[in-house]
Amino acid sequence: MKNLFSLKKYFLAYKKKLLWGLVFIICSNIGSVYVPILIKNSINILQSATNYETLGKYAFLIVIASLFSGVFRFLIRQSIIVVSREIEYDLRGDFWKHIQNLPMRYFSNNSTGNIMAHATNDINAVRMFIGPAVMYSIDTFIRLIIVISIMLSISTSLTIYSLLPLPVLSFLVYYVGKLIHDRFTKIQEKFSELTTKAQENYSGIRVIKSYTRESGEIESFRNLSKEYLKKNMKLVKVQALFQPILFLITGVSVIIVIWLGGTKVMRGELLLGDITALIIYLGILIWPMIAFGWVINIIQQAEASMARLNKILSEPIEIKDNEDSVETIIDLKGAIKFEDVSFRYSEIQPDVLKDINLIIPVGSTLAIMGHTGSGKSTLVNLLLRLYDVTGGNILIDGNEIKSIPLKTLRKSIGYVPQESFLFSDSLTNNISYGLDAPDLEIVKKSAAISQFEKDVVDFPEGYETIIGERGITLSGGQKQRSALARALVLNPKILILDDSFSAVDTNTEEKILTNLKEFMKNRTSVIISHRISTVKDADNIIVLKDGTIAEEGTHDELFALDGIYADIYNKQLLEKELEEYTD
Amino acid sequence: MAADKKNDDEILGKAYDARLMRRLLKYVKPYLKYVILAIVLNIIAAALGPLRPYLTKIAIDEYIRDRNYTGLSYVSIGLFAALFLQTFIQYLLTYYTQYLGQRTILDLRMELFAHTQKLALKFFDKTPIGRMVTRVTNDIESLNELFSSGIIMVFSDVFIVLWIFCFMFYLDWRLSLVTLSVLPVLFYGTFLFRKKVRENYRDVRFHLARLNSFMQERVTGISIVQIFFKQKEELKQFSSINADHRKANIESIFYYAVFYPGVELLSSAAIALIIWYGGGEIIQKHLSLGVLFAFIQYTEMFFRPIRDLSEKYNILQTAMASSERVFKLLDEDTIIPSPEAPIRKSSLSGKIDFKNVSFGYGSSNTDFVLKNLSFNIQPGKTTAIVGATGAGKTSIISLLSRFYDIQNGQILVDDIDIKEISEKDLRNNIAIVLQDVFLFSGTIRSNITMDNPAITEEQMIKAARMVGADKFIEQLPNKYDEEVKERGATLSTGQKQLISFARALAYNPQILILDEATSSIDTETEILIQSAIEKLLEGRTAIVIAHRLSTIQNADKILVLHKGELKETGNHQELLAKRGIYYKLYQLQYKNQEISNS
Ligand SMILES: Nc1ncnc2c1ncn2[C@@H]1O[C@H](COP(=O)(O)OP(=O)(O)OP(=O)(O)O)[C@@H](O)[C@H]1O
Ligand SMILES: Nc1ncnc2c1ncn2[C@@H]1O[C@H](COP(=O)(O)OP(=O)(O)OP(=O)(O)O)[C@@H](O)[C@H]1O
Ligand SMILES: [Mg+2]
């Protein structure tokens, strides 16, 4: 139960409504337990001589009592269940607020499906606890006390006998409840495997079709489905027993009342109406008893779900503004300095970057080259604080990067990630994502700089074209250029291009670079590329090798150095046929 | 955003739709014996419940009144036997109906999944993945409830009610009529309730779908959200969707809050009628106390199924809406039609002809992406495609694998129209390194071999070595068994591309297609790959798309594409001599290096 305690603050926010709910439950129970008393009395007087008037009075009172109870029952739902929806809203909001700010580390280690399952299933399980479970358990408890005391007042011995099967019931509820819970967890695990499988299959459908793996996919999906069926049937074996046995036990109570009660009536110790009342009361108890088992299950599930949610909610937001951040920094100029920076993705992995020392003056351009996996993207991720350095320091305008408010930092940097992610929305909305409101003028201007405009005019719906998930209906180069336009819209002080021309032809790239030259005046820029043609004009070029700076200098300096850079240069050299054809 | 658009999730099935039901029942057919078993068990179980108040009546009227102790014992034992039998049957019933449900949905789920595997890419281009996933998981799941509890429960409720009627009328028909006089009110109330809940249900579902697709897309694009520092705005949007969802749900609470106590009130009213009318009859000695007693119990029994009705109604409605969506996907016929009698060709030589091919992604016949394209590729030769971004290069190779069908013209492989060849044979001969790299969650091994048992460990390692991926793989703690996270989240972009490249080589195809296969890879590795696959390519057909001319200048043939039209063809020398687009491109790249060399 300790995880569910963390819901306290949510409950407290609605304590008034919940307290009213409690009052309503008590009132409604007073009404509903009064009905059997009325029935009892009316049957008892039937055995003596009576008249229509008294009968009519009882019948009328039964309806009134029931109406009284009903009104409060309405109010219970309007208070407690409504609160459960309100708390669900709060909880989901808090969950989302937290998720949004979790570090990238979290997202690279947890699948989307997993996170979605928490946001939907787990929150729902907790909601079931807050609403129905709380309502029924309080209701059951109060009802149990009232009903049993009335029963005892009718016939002490009969009540005790008839309630004898109840301990068995409690044990059963507890034991079977646990069994059900375990098996249910297994089912959920299988179901999430099934979901993940489907998700992966549809995301990678192009690859699957290319490699004609459809039948293999169907086979493995079938196996998963079959295992899922088996796990379900395991649960059914227990669950199918649960409900009928509950009925059996409560039914036995009723038979005890009839049998023993019957003999008592024969002996004149009890009236027939008393037995009727006892049976009706037992009937009133049956449902709460069943609900009781159900509530226990819900609570167990909610506890497990809440544990998972708490785990996420307690994931530290590693990267955020803190005491060290200086609120007054609302603007950056763009002088960047790396001091002995080192970085690793996790404790157990080796350093990806080692002893990086680097100065990028305001308005200058730094180009980064290097092998696949040498740490280029990692380096720029550090500039955005998608990760924090594990050693050394990064300074911007002389301020430690951690002291710059995140908002200032990220709003000042225009970043084109290596892999372009676009939302399934219109081009306008995608490109103007960084703005507070879409602005077609700015969008057009940025699209023109990134040479995307000429493609858009060919689209039948222009900038209003809705693109597929992740931008699937655009060509590779179109995706990259939209992502570039999206970064330019910010009018950033620092521009970072991570291999942003890899899918763009040289001709277009050349035009973009010319446009950018104008744009980048007075802005600091970092360009990652494998192409000499892209990096050659940079003010400074570094070549990364296994996470360290192997070479640094301008194009000419590096060329003269005759090292890695010169080697790449030579390898990209076109053969000299051209001369033969120029006149 | 896009989630606001109307979609299938809004389908609001009728609670009962004969057409859908008939189609659903087809899936039950193979398990008919379980259905029959369930129905028989049901009839018995349904009778056992109402039997008990009847026995109680006998106990009261005949034994308790007459002080017959043994008689009372017999009745009690009888009651117990009925109860026990009912419990046992109930168990069997639940077990078998659940089994029935599980088997049925397994079949349906597999049929649906297998069907989606046949659908054309055109369909996937416009359908959100989340929606497809929901169809094969949650939607099918809600049918389980229909098959396992829904249908059978409705049956059993009908039987119970029928049995209760029988017993009641057998005991006293006048009192029965008086008791049942509350029914019209009940039916009308239920009707109103159903109508309200139905409308509200659509709202709830719609808002839930919006909420989910919003979260799904933000989670996948979380880095963009964070980089652009949009958390505040996104939270605002999220809160408004979340609030709509809450509002719809709170509205539904109201209907339930009225319905449940309402039914309760009616049941009390029925009891009040029994006491008032039945009591009067007893005074006049027209009725025995036991009958009154039994009627009170019957009323309780009778209202329980009706009280649960709203819940069952939900099951039914959800199931109908789900089945409508499931069948809609099952009926989806965006499929690349396979030939009547496909030509089986387990190995192709790799001769390719495009004849006047025109193609567009839309349905209109004007917005062509490729226009009247004709060229041929000789077996064993390497062909390069160059052209500006968006020119249609990727589209050409998608057509060759028949991911899309063309509007005009003909594509021939080994002189056979690809529409005539079996799709599987065609694709088995072609390995593509796709421009958009996709890695599956799993291991590096499973990503290279695609779980194809025909690919041996050696072939896998050889492929990795050829692309130079072995270097970084060997450094991973678990080597080839290192876990790959969703979409390869913990690998660098180039590393992912290398794995996807190795995947194609391990496949050992007759036709190899490289769509910007080395765009994110450093020059050194790229050259290493080139020389490594040179030998592999001997005697095989290759199509290479690349922007860096240095990587393609040795191709046997170069196609120059401009806005979907073929502008020039020839080898490097010939194209330079033409002084056309290629020459300009070349000059541009060459000029760059001249400048930088000075
Ligand atoms: N699935 C799709 N649905 C609709 N339109 C598409 C789809 N795929 C591509 N297009 C459009 O078709 C045109 C050609 O795209 P294609 O991907 O063939 O270009 P490409 O030459 O490969 O470009 P790049 O060099 O940028 O990769 C583009 O305008 C693109 O927007
Ligand atoms: N999220 C992550 N978790 C763990 N390791 C990672 C993660 N991202 C990258 N790596 C590893 O860190 C190293 C550097 O990756 P990075 O993406 O910085 O390379 P890169 O130089 O940008 O390569 P490329 O040219 O392929 O884009 C690689 O070995 C990669 O596998
Ligand atoms: Mg990178």
| Closest residue CA from atom 25 of ligand 2 | A372
CA distance B194 to B197: 5
Residues 6+ apart with CB under 8 A from B361: A473, B122, B125, B367, B369, B395, B404
Closest by alpha carbon to A185, among A305, A294, A299, A296?
A305
What ligand is nearest to the CA atom of residue B468?
Answer: 2
| Closest residue CA from atom 6 of ligand 1 | A473
Choice from A419, A467, A478 to test ligand 1 binding pocket (greatest atom count within 8 A of CB): A478
Per-residue pLDDT at B555 = 86
Q: Which of A121, A196, A209 should one mutate to test binding to chain B, selecting the residue with the greatest count of B CBs within 10 A?
A: A209
List chain B residues with CB under 8 Å of A236: 94-95, 98-99, 102
Domain A328-412+492-583 identical in fold to domain A418-490: yes
Interface of A with B in 464-523 (CB under 8 A): 466, 468-470, 472-473, 475-478, 481, 490, 499, 502-510
Q: Assess whether pLDDT exceeds 90 at residue A540.
A: yes
B13 — pLDDT class (breaks 50, 70, 90): low
Contact B229 A411 (CB under 8 A): yes
DSSP A384-426: TTSS--SEEEEEETTEEGGGS-HHHHHHHEEEE-SS----SSB
Query: CB distance from A411 to chain B under 8 Å?
Result: yes
Per-residue pLDDT at A49 = 65
Which uninterrupted H or E stretch holds A200?
Answer: helix A166-203
- Side chain identity at residue A39, one-letter code: I
Q: Is the distance from CB of A480 to CB of A447 less than 8 angstroms? A: no
**Mean pLDDT over all residues of chain B?**
84
Residue range B208-237, pLDDT digits in tens = 888 888 888 888 888 888 888 888 888 999
The packing angle between helices A272-313 and A82-101, to 10°, is 10
Contact B225 A345 (CB under 8 A): no
The lowest-confidence range among A277-291, A503-517, B195-209, B426-440 is A277-291
CA distance B356 to B353: 10
Contact A70 B265 (CB under 8 A): yes
3-state secondary structure A416-445: ECCCCCCCCCEHHHHHHHHCCCCCHHHHHH
Residue A29 has a CB neighbour count (10 Å cut-off) of 22
Choice from B124, B368, B394 to test ligand 1 binding pocket (greatest atom count within 8 A of CB): B394
Atom of ligand 1 nearest to the CA of A458: 29
The lowest-confidence range among A43-57, B367-381, B485-499 is A43-57
Strands A353-360 and A494-498: unpaired
Q: What residues does A524 pair with on adjacent strands?
A: A494
List chain B residues with CB under 8 Å of A206: 121, 403, 434, 436, 438
Residue range B371-391, pLDDT digits in tens = 889 999 988 889 999 888 888
Contact B524 A55 (CB under 8 A): no
List chain A residues with CB under 8 Å of B123: none
Which uninterrupted H or E stretch holds A125?
Answer: helix A123-128
B6 — pLDDT class (breaks 50, 70, 90): very low
* C-alpha A174: how far from chain center: 31
**CA A393 – ligand 2 centroid, Å:** 20
Strands A524-528 and A365-370: parallel
Length of chain A: 583
Q: Is the distance from CB of B513 to CB of B430 less than 8 angstroms? A: yes
CA distance A12 to A24: 18
Per-residue pLDDT at A67 = 93
List chain B residues with CB under 8 Å of A473: 125, 361
**Number of A:B CB contacts under 8 A?**
484
- In percent, how much of chain B has pLDDT > 70? 94
**Torsion angle (degrees, nearest 10) of CA B273, B279, B285, B287:** 50
Closest by alpha carbon to A125, among A311, A303, A292?
A303
- In percent, how much of chain A has pLDDT > 70? 97
B481 — pLDDT class (breaks 50, 70, 90): very high
Q: Could you tell me which chain B residue has the CA closest to the CA of A575? A: B550
Q: Could you tell me which chain A residue has the CA closest to the CA of B121? A: A206
List chain A residues with CB under 8 Å of B86: 244, 247
Q: Assess whether pLDDT exceeds 80 at residue A287.
A: no
What value does the mean pLDDT take over residues B454-472?
A: 89
DSSP B381-406: -EEEEEE-TTSSHHHHHHHHTTSS--
In CATH, which superfamily holds the domain spanning A4-313?
ABC transporter type 1, transmembrane domain (1.20.1560.10)
CA distance A429 to A440: 9
Closest by alpha carbon to B363, among A460, A397, A131?
A460
Contact B76 A255 (CB under 8 A): yes
Residue range B319-343, pLDDT digits in tens = 888 888 899 999 988 888 888 888 8
Which CATH number is correct for A418-490, 3.40.980.10, 2.70.180.20, 1.10.150.120, 3.40.50.300? 3.40.50.300
List chain A residues with CB under 8 Å of B282: 46
Per-residue pLDDT at B113 = 94
Q: What residues does A45 pair with on adjacent strands?
A: none
Per-residue pLDDT at A576 = 46
Q: Is the distance from CB of B100 to CB of B38 less than 8 angstroms? A: yes
- Side chain identity at residue B534, one-letter code: E
What value does the mean pLDDT take over residues A440-467?
A: 88
B598 — pLDDT class (breaks 50, 70, 90): very low
What value does the mean pLDDT take over residues A516-537?
A: 88
What value does the mean pLDDT take over residues A497-515?
A: 87
Which uninterrupted H or E stretch holds A337?
Answer: strand A336-343
Contact B265 A433 (CB under 8 A): no
Q: Is the distance from CB of B320 to CB of B16 less than 8 angstroms? A: yes
* C-alpha B226: how far from chain center: 30
Q: Assess whether pLDDT exceeds 80 at residue B308.
A: no
Q: Is the distance from CB of B382 to CB of B372 less than 8 angstroms? A: no
**CA A60 – ligand 3 centroid, Å:** 81
CA distance B457 to A445: 53
Residue range A544-582, pLDDT digits in tens = 998 999 999 999 898 888 889 988 888 877 654 444 444
Q: Tokens for A306? A: 């809440």
A583 — pLDDT class (breaks 50, 70, 90): very low
Closest by alpha carbon to B510, among B398, B432, B450, B431?
B431
What's the distance, Cα to Cα, between the start and end of chain A in Å? 86
Residue A118 has a CB neighbour count (10 Å cut-off) of 18
Closest by alpha carbon to A497, among A341, A359, A368?
A368
What value does the mean pLDDT take over residues B79-96?
A: 88
Q: Assess whether pLDDT exceeds 80 at residue A307.
A: yes
- In percent, how much of chain A has pLDDT > 90? 27
Q: Is the distance from CB of B509 to CB of B442 less than 8 angstroms? A: no
| Closest residue CA from atom 4 of ligand 2 | B490
Query: φ and ψ at B15, to 5 degrees?
Result: -65, -30
The residue written with tokens 């394209």 in the block is: B373
ipTM above 0.90, yes or no: no
| A575 DSSP assignment | P
List chain B residues with CB under 8 Å of A200: 440-441, 486
Residues 6+ apart with CB under 8 A from B179: B168, B270, B273, B274, B295, B298, B299
A269 — pLDDT class (breaks 50, 70, 90): confident
Atom of ligand 1 nearest to the CA of B395: 18
Per-residue pLDDT at A1 = 67
Q: Assess whether pLDDT exceeds 80 at residue B305.
A: no
Contact A212 B394 (CB under 8 A): no
- Is A482 a pocket residue for ligand 1 (Cβ < 6 Å)? no
**CA B392 – ligand 1 centroid, Å:** 6
B499 — pLDDT class (breaks 50, 70, 90): very high
CA distance B41 to B88: 10
* C-alpha A576: how far from chain center: 57
Contact A211 B129 (CB under 8 A): no
CA distance A325 to B322: 52
**CA A198 – ligand 1 centroid, Å:** 26
A53 — pLDDT class (breaks 50, 70, 90): confident
Residue range B272-289, pLDDT digits in tens = 888 888 888 888 878 888
Query: CB distance from A457 to chain B under 8 Å?
Result: no
Q: Is the distance from CB of A343 to CB of A387 less than 8 angstroms? A: yes
**CA A17 – ligand 2 centroid, Å:** 53
Residue A157 has a CB neighbour count (10 Å cut-off) of 12
Distance from CA of B409 to the nearest CA of A (A): 23
What value does the mean pLDDT take over residues A226-238?
A: 91
What ligand is nearest to the CA atom of residue A374?
Answer: 2
**CA B395 – ligand 1 centroid, Å:** 6
Contact B76 A42 (CB under 8 A): no
* C-alpha B26: how far from chain center: 20
Per-residue pLDDT at B593 = 61
In CATH, which superfamily holds the domain spanning A328-412+492-583?
P-loop containing nucleotide triphosphate hydrolases (3.40.50.300)
Query: CB distance from A111 to chain B under 8 Å?
Result: yes
List chain A residues with CB under 8 Å of B296: 39, 276, 280
Residue range B140-195, pLDDT digits in tens = 988 887 877 667 777 777 888 888 888 888 988 888 888 888 888 888 888 888 88
Per-residue pLDDT at A251 = 83
Collapsing DSSP to helix, strand or coil, B210 comes out as: helix
Question: Is the CA virtual torsion A327, A329, A330, A332 positive or negative?
Answer: negative
Residue range A112-169, pLDDT digits in tens = 888 888 888 889 888 888 888 888 888 888 888 888 888 888 888 888 888 888 777 7
List chain B residues with CB under 8 Å of A251: 52, 83, 87
Contact B434 A504 (CB under 8 A): no
B40 — pLDDT class (breaks 50, 70, 90): confident
DSSP A294-306: HHHHHHHHHHHHH
Q: Which of B70, B117, B247, B348 should one mutate to test binding to chain A, selecting the residue with the greatest count of A CBs within 10 A?
A: B117
What pTM was computed for the model?
Answer: 0.86
Atom of ligand 1 nearest to the CA of A474: 31
Atom of ligand 2 nearest to the CA of B472: 29
What ligand is nearest to the CA atom of residue A454?
Answer: 1
Per-residue pLDDT at B387 = 86
Contact A62 B272 (CB under 8 A): yes
The lowest-confidence range among A78-87, A267-276, A422-431 is A267-276
- Spans of all domains in chain A: 4-313, 328-412+492-583, 418-490
Choice from B223, B470, B491 to test ligand 2 binding pocket (greatest atom count within 8 A of CB): B491
Q: In what order do the strands lie in the sheet with A391-396?
A: A353-360, A336-343, A391-396, A399-400
Residue range B90-146, pLDDT digits in tens = 888 888 888 988 999 999 999 999 999 989 888 888 888 888 888 898 889 888 878
CB-closest option in A74, A213, A573 to B261: A74
Which residue ranges form the domains of chain B, and what is each CATH number? Answer: 16-171 (1.20.1560.10), 345-379+393-428+540-571 (3.40.50.300), 433-514+522-539 (3.40.50.300)
Angle of CA points A393, A396, A399, to nearest 5°: 75
Contact A100 B229 (CB under 8 A): no
CA distance B136 to A358: 52
What value does the mean pLDDT take over residues B555-562?
A: 90
**CA B491 – ligand 2 centroid, Å:** 5
